[in-house]
Structure formats: structure tokens, C-alpha cells
A and B are shown apart, each in its own frame.
Chain A
Amino acid sequence: MAKIEIENVYKIFGDNPEAALARAMAGEGKDEIHSDTGHTVGLHDITLSMEESKTFVVMGLSGSGKSTLIRHINRLIEPTAGRIVVDGVDVLTLNDADLRQFRRTKMAMVFQRFGLFPHRTVIHNVAYGLEMQGVEKRHRQDKAAEWIETVGLAGYENSYPSQLSGGMQQRVGLARALCGDPEVLLMDEAFSALDPLIRSGMQDQLIELQEKLHKTIVFITHDLDEALKLGDKIAILKDGRLSQVGKPEEILLEPADDYVAAFVRDVNRARVLTVDVVMRPPSLRLTTENIDAALREMQGHRDDFGYVFDGDDFRGVITERHLRRAATTNGNSSVYDLADDSQTVTADSVLEEALPTILQSDTPVAVVNNDGEFRGVVSKRELIRVLTEHREEPDEAAQEPKRTGP
């Protein structure tokens, strides 16, 4: 079961949300309801499920309801209708004391404008979560000092937030969130206020931390590159409605509507897509050591190259020409030894990194994972197709009458 389930959540801002809710449920649009009743539809029938230990990114333009959505998860905002279930518990059923306990132990939040306590030093900021949990002072100071070190701020323990740069302040924000060892990390545009360089540094740090910590992260952003870099799954919001939910490559390669398509149009795919997205199974697997047997197999096949395996072990790629030459000069050598395993790419590298290797190779390049196990092959043709496909998209597509209503 998913860590966080959001079920049919509606949020209407205004004095009399019930009346506006009925209209929203009947399918009226945000603008219509706003001009008729003065109520704002923050969220419209949102259903999402977020997996444990994964990074779930929510993306959308300003005003699309991202902050509203993330604040429902720890109930800083109450929905007008719908359910929010965390670890099987309906958050809306918690009483005040249980809700506080839930916020203290289950989740922590990182804010766009940092939200640090200006009157507390860095170490006391970081220790705040533990203080709320009632952890004894010595212990929480020790723990906080560790986290300050982890985010690279050792030496600044006794500074005040106003003495730090924006990037450093957000490291404090991150350390503060992680210090209480929450299961869920809620990050509302956590890096949006930072300079591009510092921002990408923070993204790298988050990825690195996540490899060790395996938290469930809900990350809000309006930046697609950031979403693609961090997200295991991405949801795209528009005017309080979900446009699309999917893996990064699904969003990129199969945008559900014009809104999403407009988002992904300018993305540099080579920088975002990883090799495993364009990877295919090899057309020919050779599992024999014998040159003649291998040649016979290759002749019955349309390709003039094959991928050589010793059991499950990948030994390399070999071409028909190479095999023939070996057969005439040295008929007794092993195909395993002849196969060329010098050219491989790793499955999780982005296309940009793999590009030179793939383009220089005459044959589709073998893809291996980090342990060196064979995963598939990637061909020049497939690579070029993926990288150029979206440029063919005619401009008229954007001018088609927009879908309105549900």
C-alpha cells in the first residue's frame, strides 16, 4: 500500500465553500466559480498515491494549487471534501493532540522562503523538531550538530540565520527537517529561491542524501528540469486539477495534453532522459564459445553482429567480419575472448553522457547497470529518434481549441 493516499480532494477557499463545492463537483471551471461566487477553487478532485521511499514531484505554474496540495498532507490546510490517508490512517480523523504528534514524528517540511526562526541560532533551529518531540537537550544538540555537519555547515552552529546566505539558510532548513528523522519530507519549492548554481548543488545533495535515507519525499516545483532530475514520479497540476501523473519519461515522451506538452517542449531531452529509456533487448544473443557455431547463427540472422554471453555473463559484442577473420587465422580461439567489451554505457547515465560512445560505435552499444550486468542495447537510430521527435511537433498543435471542462 502506498505511503500517502490522496483521495478525491477538493479545496475551496471562501466563506461558504459548500455551495461552491457543489458547483465544482458538477464540473464548473475555476474562473466561472470565482466570478460567480467569489470563491477560489484551490484543488479540484485530486487523487494521487505516493509510494514509500520515492520522490514524488508535484509541478505546475504559479497558482495551480501546489502549495495548497502539499499542505493538505500534514493538514496545515483542511480539505473541503475528500480524504488524505498516511500509512493507512485518515489524517482528518486525528484530534488536535494526535495531529501534533503526527506532525512531530511522521513528517517534516522545508519551505520556499526557508521559514527559519530568526531568533534562534542554527543549531537551535535544527534541533527544533527534536525539541517538539520532547527529546532531552544534550541528545538533541548532538543530533543537530551531526546534521549541520552533514549538510556542510559545520562551524556555523552558533550563527543566526540572518548571518547566512540563502543557500546556507536552506541547508539549515533541510537539516532541520531531517534532524527529527521524519518518514516523509514535504518540500514546497524548497530550492526555488536559490541561484541556479546553488540550486543545482542542493539538488545533488538531496539526491545523495536520498540514496542513503530513502525517505518518502513530496517535492513541489514549477521547474520541469528540477522535476525531471529529482522525481521518481511527477504529477502536473493546472488550475487545481491534475493534468497528468507519470514517470518522468512518460511525461516527456507522452504528454497528456497541450498544457503538459507546452511544459516539456523546451526540455533538453539529452540531459534528462536516461539510457534505459531508449534501451532495447539485443537482436542477437550468442551463447556459444565456438567460432563456427557463432558464424552459422549470425548468418541466419539479418544483423551482422551479436552480443556474446557466457551463461549470464556479458562478454562483449562481435561482428561477422571479425568472426570470419578469426576463423581463417586462428580457428581455435574462443568467441568469449574475441568479443569486444570496451564500449558500454551505464543504464542510469543521461543520454548526453552516453552520446559520444553511442555515436562512435558501429554497432548498438551494450547497456550495463552499475554492477556491470547486461541490461540491453541502445542504437544510434533509436537515440536520434528520441532526441528529435518533439521537434517535429507542428505549431498548430498549440493553437488547437483548448479542451475545456472535464
Chain B
Amino acid sequence: MADSNWLIEFPALSRDTLRLLQRSIDETFREFSRSYGQALEDFFEPLLWFMIWFERLLLNAPWWLVIAVIASCAYLASRNWKMTIGVIAAFLAIGIFGMWEDTMRTVSIITVCTLLAIVIGIPIGVMMARYDRAQATITPVLDVMQTMPSFVYLIPVVMLLGIGRVPGVIAVIIYAIPPVIRLTNLGIRLVDKDVLEAANAFGADFKQRLFGVQIPLAMPNIMAGVNQTIMMSLAMVVIASMIGVKGLGQPVLKAITNQYFSMGLFNGLAIVAIAIVFDRVSQAYGHRIQKHRQVGH
């Protein structure tokens, strides 16, 4: 009878084999994290210190100073008064509703994640644009990173590094970095061949081409990527709070488990407010540095 069964039922591996397979994968990984976990933690130690320092900085500074600094960043980036006033109003409202501390924690982690995503993502994008082989290998990896449910890669990260800020940041970056990589690659590949040829004809070397021509001309795309990365890391903050990242995500999580609707709503709105601020300011900055595009025909 077993002979014809595979036509009706999928000939899956037997339950024992599967269990064995999973166990051996888990064992190997556990072994790996046992022997390298400490080394990895040491490696990320400076990052942890920086994050703690930055978070304390935001938390300990007087609230009006923080708002002033954020508002001037917004103004410098956008040169737009209306937007700056909107930013100030958003942060005042957050403070009034008692979410100042959590918001500062979230802003701090988002800032760190974005900076890291840019620092790691742009060079990878540049490499992909330069070598077709790099593009061919990295693109599927990015696809996996973007489609894999984010809870899944929380598991190995937690196994390796425990819970806390660093694994949180790593999870957020894994989730949020693909757009900046993809759009850097795309932006550089889309740079006009004629312009690049002109740079070559005048004897530009690799660095002069990259920083003098390719990156400036790819800037609209790169900025769009950065913008998306910021948005995605904000979205990930709630999930990352499950592994101990403090900030606006934790009250949201608490609200879900205890069915506190208004608590969830307020904190959710705070996240939305931050998202809008980051989004508009980074877009305005992207537009402003491209002023040569807005003129003429």
C-alpha cells in the first residue's frame, strides 16, 4: 500500500527525519553562537556604547533644546519655514501627551539605524553598480531580506546576541537596508553614459568619477532609498520592541496584549508623526540639493 501513496499524499520526509534535520541545524547554530556569541558581542560593544550615549544625550538634554536642534536640522535641510513650524508642533504635541521619553528613545534608535544603513548600504550599492557579478549575487539576498517575515530573523539574532538594543538595531537594519542599496545601485547605473564618458575623457580617476559625477547625479535615487529606509526602520521599531528595544514600540506592544486602545493609538500616532517629519525633511533635502534639475526645460 505504501507504494502508491505518494500519488495521493506528498512524499514528504518522515517526521523523524525532519526533526533530526531541524535539530541538527539548531544544534550547529547553537554551537556557533556559543563559541562566537561572546566575540560578536565584543565586536558590537562600541555600537552599544554609542547608542547608550546618544540616547542619554537626547533624554538628558532639556526638551526645548532638543526641539530647537531638531527644528534647526529641519530648517537647514528644507529651508522651509512652514515645515519647520510643523516639526516643532509635532514634537510639542508628543511631549504634551506624555510620550517624550519613549519618542527620544525611538528617535535615537532610528537615527543610529539610518546612519548605519547609509554607511553600509551606499558602498554596497556602489559595488553592485560597478560589478555586474556583485549585482547578480546581492540582488537575491536583498529579495530574501525584504520578503522573509521579520520575526524569523529575530530568532538567530536573539540566539547570537540575546535581547537588547544591539540585536534590535541589527534586526531593524536587516529589514530596512535593502532600499538604500537597491536605489544607490540603480541611481548610479542610470547616470548618463555621455556625462561619464566626458569625465573619462578629461582623465578622471575612479574616485573623481564616483564622488564628482556618479554619486551627485544618483542623489535623487539615493535620497529616495534613504527615505524608504527611514520609513521601514520606523515600521520595524514596533516589532523590534519584542526583543527589548525600548521606545514607542513597547507601549504599542503592551496596548496590543492588554487591549488598551487609546494607548496604542497615541503611541501609534507618535510614530506616524516622527515618520512624517523624517520623510518630509529628507525629501525636501533631496530636492534642494538637486536645484539644477528644477530650472530650465
A residues sitting closer than 8 Å to B (CB atoms) are 74, 76, 99-105, 107-109, 111, 113-120, 128-129, 132-133, 160-164, 180, 186
Instruction: Tell which of B195, B291, B293, B297 touches A117, judged by Cβ atoms closer than 8 Å.
Output: B195
| Alpha-carbon distance A300/B204, docked complex (angstroms) | 73
9 A-B pairs with C-beta separation under 8 A = A76-B200, A103-B200, A104-B203, A111-B198, A118-B293, A120-B292, A128-B199, A162-B296, A162-B297
Contact B217 A129 (CB under 8 A): no
B residues sitting closer than 8 Å to A (CB atoms) are 192, 194-195, 197-205, 208, 213, 216-217, 290-293, 295-297
Q: How far is the CB of B9 from chain A (nearest CB, A)?
A: 49
* Nearest 5 interchain pairs by C-beta: A104-B203, A115-B198, A103-B203, A162-B296, A160-B292
Contact A132 B194 (CB under 8 A): no
Most buried by A among B197, B198, B205: B198
A115-B194, A117-B195, A160-B296 known; A128 vs B202 contact (CB < 8 Å): yes
Contacts of A161 in B (CB 8 A): 292
A76-B197, A103-B203, A115-B198 known; A132 vs B216 contact (CB < 8 Å): no
| Alpha-carbon distance A325/B293, docked complex (angstroms) | 79
| Alpha-carbon distance A186/B293, docked complex (angstroms) | 29
Contact A162 B203 (CB under 8 A): no
Contact B195 A74 (CB under 8 A): no
Contact B292 A132 (CB under 8 A): no
Contact B205 A100 (CB under 8 A): yes
Question: Smallest CB-CB separation from B292: which chain A residue?
Answer: A160
Interface of B is mostly: helix
Contacts of B296 in A (CB 8 A): 160, 162-164
Contact B295 A118 (CB under 8 A): no
Q: How far is the CB of B69 from chain A (nearest CB, A)?
A: 29
Most buried by A among B194, B195, B199, B202: B202
Contacts of A120 in B (CB 8 A): 292
Contacts of A115 in B (CB 8 A): 194-195, 197-198
Contact B292 A118 (CB under 8 A): yes
Question: Smallest CB-CB separation from B295: which chain A residue?
Answer: A163
Contacts of B205 in A (CB 8 A): 100
Most buried by A among B198, B203, B204: B203
Contacts of B204 in A (CB 8 A): 100, 132
Q: How far is the CB of B186 from chain A (nearest CB, A)?
A: 18
Q: How far is the CB of B177 from chain A (nearest CB, A)?
A: 26
Instruction: Tell which of A99, A104, A164 touches B202, judged by Cβ atoms closer than 8 Å.
Output: A104
Contacts of B213 in A (CB 8 A): 117
Contacts of B208 in A (CB 8 A): 132
Contacts of A102 in B (CB 8 A): 203
Contacts of B199 in A (CB 8 A): 117, 128
Contacts of A160 in B (CB 8 A): 291-292, 295-296
Contacts of A180 in B (CB 8 A): 202
| Alpha-carbon distance A100/B209, docked complex (angstroms) | 12
Contact B217 A103 (CB under 8 A): no
Contacts of A162 in B (CB 8 A): 292-293, 295-297
| Alpha-carbon distance A119/B198, docked complex (angstroms) | 14
Instruction: Tell which of B195, B200, B201 touches A118, judged by Cβ atoms closer than 8 Å.
Output: B195
| Alpha-carbon distance A164/B291, docked complex (angstroms) | 15
| Alpha-carbon distance A109/B196, docked complex (angstroms) | 13
Contacts of A116 in B (CB 8 A): 195, 198
With contacts A102-B203, A161-B292, A162-B292 known, what are 9 further pairs, Cβ within 8 A? A103-B203, A115-B198, A118-B292, A120-B292, A128-B199, A128-B202, A160-B296, A162-B293, A163-B295
Contacts of A129 in B (CB 8 A): 202
Contacts of A99 in B (CB 8 A): 203
Contacts of A186 in B (CB 8 A): 201
Q: How far is the CB of A128 from chain B (nearest CB, A)?
A: 6
Question: Smallest CB-CB separation from A125: which chain B residue?
Answer: B198
Contacts of B200 in A (CB 8 A): 76, 103
Contact B198 A117 (CB under 8 A): yes
Q: How far is the CB of B297 from chain A (nearest CB, A)?
A: 7
| Alpha-carbon distance A104/B194, docked complex (angstroms) | 18
| Alpha-carbon distance A120/B197, docked complex (angstroms) | 16
| Alpha-carbon distance A100/B200, docked complex (angstroms) | 8
Contact A119 B295 (CB under 8 A): no
Question: Smallest CB-CB separation from B196: which chain A residue?
Answer: A115
Q: How far is the CB of A94 from chain B (nearest CB, A)?
A: 11
Contact B217 A119 (CB under 8 A): yes
Contact A119 B201 (CB under 8 A): no
Question: Smallest CB-CB separation from B208: which chain A residue?
Answer: A132
| Alpha-carbon distance A180/B208, docked complex (angstroms) | 17
